[in-house]
Homo-oligomer: A and B are copies of this chain.
Amino acid sequence: MASSSSNIEERFKINSEMESAQFKDFAKEMIDYVSNYLENIRDRRVLPSVEPGYLRPLIPETAPEKPDNWEDVVTHWHSPRFHAYFPTANSYPAIVADILSGAIACIGFSWIASPACTELEVVMLDWLGKMLDLPKEFLACSGGKGGGVIQGTASEATLVALLGAKARAISLAKQAHPEWKDSDIISKLVAYSSSQSHSSVERAGLLGGVTLKSLKPDSSNRLRGETVEQAIKEDIEAGLIPFYVVATLGTTSSCTFDNLDEIGPVCNANNVWLHVDAAYAGSAFICPEFRYLMKGIERADSFNFNPHKWLLVNFDCSAMWLKDPSWLVNAFNVDPLYLQHDQQGSAPDYRHWQIQLGRRFRSLKLWFVLRLYGIENLQTFIRKHVALAHHFESLVRKDDRFEITEEVIMGLVCFRLRGKNEISENLLKNINARGVIHLVPSKINDVYFLRLAICSRYTETADIELSWNEIKVVANEVLSQ
């Protein structure tokens, strides 16, 4: 079985095409390429003109050859002409941080697996929490149970909070009714969110195996306290167990804000876990003038937003704070010998705070971005996007053929051509077919509209005017048909 010691190196010679010297050359070429790609992204067709399956014939069936030209087959999310979905962040400091993270390549599932990976995350989430003026119960530095963690996506944060809430609800129900089985309790559990909440909330209910009820928001598309109260009351009367509410600050369809200040007391009074999903809009709370929109946050059990959307930290970096992570840590704790270490309990072992075991050193991205931009520039970045959205809004409002369908608060403008949905559907279809700019639609109460999100950190007034002109050109065509 044993190999002769002397010649392992000789017998197993790896002829890698990339050792240190080549890596330096190649990586530096890639840096130039990446910089050039981003600096000139404005000039690229935002949406590629390809069909499903286009790629397979271009590359070999099994063996490696020359790379394709990526720029032609990628949707350019960072083009100032990309206005679909919400932004995904991208900045040079974050890219450099990821290079370092890739080289250290630790898997920080426990404190000992990489102390810096855990500790920097604890401190960065405190920094970020303070930037948003989060109540101290959410911060690790307050010395209580609370603290922050980096999740991959808001979907995971919603699911993780739901699973924590489920564990708490089962525990409370068993205290009151020791004879009840888990399956009986779970079948009675009810979660709630607005019908305007993100699709991942509904999906968290499916994945978590609990009933999630969709509640009707008010005429301004905001979920209100009395709606939640009424639903909880009816379900308790029907013998069910309300246990989890998701309030959204900045919905995906139209960036509207549920009334947290009303919903919080209702949840607290009924022992219902309140999770706040501010995936996109949360970044704006670093500007004091937007914090009125998170009024009532002190009533929440967990809060989440994505620096990887609107705070110049590359994906993935979804910041989540929990007032009491012990529901998660204890409910899903498995603790094999090979993962134990002497310092357990003195610092968080983040593997208990998430779905996965492994995790990358993602707090480096926060550290680099916060240091190299500073709070002030990040605030300016947010304010500029909001100003650009208002500028686009003003252009739309000057054209009587169009209407604005939702109050513009952040970097999203919802608009449509007046009249039947079909006209706006045609408008969108033709805009995206031309490929100069890219938008996605939404629909609320059967009213179809277009969403223009300010996505790129390169977006300037001239880009907005180009986008608006493009929309007008297509509108002229559509309306003349």
* A234 interfacial contact with B, CB 8 Å: no
A435-479 to B contact mask, C-beta < 8 Å, 1/0: 000001111000000010000000011000100000000000000
A324 to B458 alpha-carbon distance, docked (Å): 42
A274-312 to B contact mask, C-beta < 8 Å, 1/0: 000000000000000000000000000000000010000
Query: Given A141-B56, A334-B199, A92–B22 Cβ distance below 8 Å?
Result: yes
- Which residues of B have CB within 8 Å of A393? 1-2
Kindly report which residue of chain B lies nearest to residue A334, judged by CB atoms: B199
| Residue in A107, A111, A155, A377 with the greatest tally of chain B CB atoms within 10 Å | A107
* A127 interfacial contact with B, CB 8 Å: yes
Query: Given A74-B114, A75-B112, A155-B357, A199–B53 Cβ distance below 8 Å?
Result: no
CB–CB A373/B117 < 8 A: no
Cβ 8 A contact of A12, one of B8, B23, B47, B383: B383
CB–CB A105/B314 < 8 A: yes
- Which residues of B have CB within 8 Å of A18? 91-93, 96, 372
Cβ 8 A contact of A3, one of B2, B19, B387, B440: B387
Query: Given A23-B95, A183-B187, A358–B391 Cβ distance below 8 Å?
Result: no
A68 to B120 alpha-carbon distance, docked (Å): 10
Give A86-118 interface residues, CB cut-off 8 Å to B. 88-96, 98-100, 102-107, 111-117
Kindly report which residue of chain B lies nearest to residue A393, judged by CB atoms: B2
CB–CB B105/A14 < 8 A: no
A384-418 to B contact mask, C-beta < 8 Å, 1/0: 10011011011001000000000010000000000
Query: Given A6-B461, A209-B209, A441-B338, A106–B75 Cβ distance below 8 Å?
Result: yes
Query: Given A2-B391, A105-B90, A113-B75, A14–B156 Cβ distance below 8 Å?
Result: no
* A168 interfacial contact with B, CB 8 Å: no
- Complex A-B, nearest 4 residue pairs according to Cβ-Cβ distance, in ascending order: A2-B394, A183-B187, A12-B384, A55-B119
Given contacts A34-B103, A102-B314, 11 further A-B contacts (CB under 8 A): A8-B391, A12-B383, A20-B35, A28-B31, A75-B115, A78-B105, A153-B356, A155-B355, A163-B207, A199-B334, A200-B357
